[in-house]
Every structure is written in structure tokens, then in C-alpha cells.
Amino acid sequence: MTETNTVPDTAVDPVCGKTFDPRKTAFSAKDEKGTHYFCSDNCQRQYESAGKKAKKGFWAKYTDRLKDTHCTRTPPECR
């Protein structure tokens, strides 16, 4: 049995918001929500040392950034 481990072409660091190629980084962490990729060891350390509430804050900022970049291009009927 082989394990398929696909890495996306792009990722957004949940700590700093930088978009980068996760295939070119060695910084990642796994938890119950999946694998998270980081642009630097500093961002990875911040994420891993953060409490549960702080991690939710990272993800709230991340989703807000996605809304800012993607929803402005989404037609009104799709929102």
C-alpha cells in the first residue's frame, strides 16, 4: 500500500499571510485539521507555540485575506 502525499502548488502562510510554493520549503506542521505549510521557521515556531485561541486568530486573518483577494472578483450572483 502506498501513501499519496500531494503538496499544493501554492500555499498561504497562516501566520504572516505570504503566498509561496510549499514544495520549496521544509516548514510544515500537522494537526487534526491537516498539514499546514509555512514560509519560514519563524512562522512555523509561532504557529506551533501558539495556543488554540491564537491559532484560530491566525486562521481568521487568513480567511479574511482570502475574502479580500477572491470575493472582489466573484460575480454578485455567486456570493
Tens of pLDDT, residue by residue over 8-25, are 888 888 888 888 999 999
Share of the chain above pLDDT 90, in %: 24
pLDDT of residue 38: 94
pLDDT of residue 50: 86
Residue 9 backbone phi and psi in degrees, to 5: -70, -35
Q: Letter for the amino acid at 19? A: T
Tens of pLDDT, residue by residue over 12-66, are 888 888 889 999 999 999 888 789 999 999 999 999 998 877 877 777 777 776 6
pLDDT of residue 21: 93
Cα–Cα dist 39/19, whole Å: 8
For the chain, which residues make up each domain, given as ranges? 11-72
